[in-house]
Structure 1
Amino acid sequence: MRNVRPALWFDLVLLALFAAITVALALRTPLLSLDLAVRDLVDAHRPSWAYWTARVFNYLGQGGQVLTPLAVLTALVVGRRTHSVRPALPVIGGFVITYLTIGPLKVWTDRTAASDHKVVHPEYLFHVPTGMSYPSGHVVNAIVWYGVLAILLGGLLRPGQLRAIRYGAPAIVLFTTTYLSFHWVTDGLAAICLGLVLDRILQRVPWDTIPLPWISPKFAGSSSLQEQQTR
Structure 2
Amino acid sequence: MRESGQGTGTVRRSGLRLRPVYPGGWWLDLLLLAGLAGLTLALANGHLYGIDQAVREWSDNNRPDFAYWIARVFNFLGQGGWLLTPVAAILGILTALRSRSIRPLLVVAAAYAATYLTIGPLKIWTDRAAPTSKLPPEESVKIFNSQLPAGEYSMSYPSGHVANAIIWYGAIALLLVAFLRTLGRPHPPAALARVIRIAPPLIVFCTTTYLSWHWITDSVAGILLGLFVDRLLTRIPWDDLPLPALRGGLDRPGVFTSAP
Answer yes or no: same fold by TM over 0.5: yes
Please say if 1:138 is aligned against 2:154: no
1:191 to 222, 227, 243: 222
Q: Decide whether aligned partners of structure 1 residues 223 and 171 sit closer, same or farther in structure 2, where only a CA change above 3 A counts.
A: farther
Unmatched tracts of structure 2, length 5 or more: 1-17, 181-187
Determine the C-alpha separation between the residues in 2 that align with 1:223 and 1:71: 19
Match of 1:97 in 2: 114
TM-score by length of 2: 0.83
Match of 1:152 in 2: 175
Deviates more, 1:1-10 or 1:106-115: 1-10
How big is each residue's C-alpha offset from its partner over 1:83-140, in whole Å with a ceiling of 9 and x where there is no partner? 1111100100001111011110000000000111423216510014551000000000
User: Paired residues, what number?
Assistant: 227
How big is each residue's C-alpha offset from its partner over 1:179-231, in whole Å with a ceiling of 9 and x where there is no partner? 1111000000011010000000000000111111142362123474666x9xx
RMSD: 1.7
Please say if 1:211 is aligned against 2:211: no
Q: Kindly, what percent of the aligned residue pairs are identical? A: 48
The offset of 1:81, in angstroms, is 1.1
How big is each residue's C-alpha offset from its partner over 1:13-59, in whole Å with a ceiling of 9 and x where there is no partner? 00000011101111011x11000000010001111111111111111
TM-score by length of 1: 0.93
Q: Decide whether aligned partners of structure 1 residues 138 and 219 sit closer, same or farther in structure 2, where only a CA change above 3 A counts.
A: same
Determine the C-alpha separation between the residues in 2 that align with 1:205 and 1:217: 24
1:84 to 101, 112, 117: 101
Larger Rg: 2
Unmatched tracts of structure 1, length 5 or more: none
1:10 to 16, 28, 37: 28
**Letter in structure 1 aligned against 2:43:** L
1:172 to 203, 207, 223: 203
Q: Does the Cα contact within 8 Å between 1:67 and 1:145 map onto a contact in 2? A: yes
**Letter in structure 2 aligned against 1:109:** T
Determine the C-alpha separation between the residues in 2 that align with 1:114 and 1:224: 44
Please say if 1:202 is aligned against 2:233: yes
Determine the C-alpha separation between the residues in 2 that align with 1:58 and 1:223: 35
Q: Does the Cα contact within 8 Å between 2:244 and 2:251 map onto a contact in 1? A: no
The offset of 1:154, in angstroms, is 2.3
Considering fraction of residues, name the structure with more helix: 1
Determine the C-alpha separation between the residues in 2 that align with 1:43 and 1:90: 39
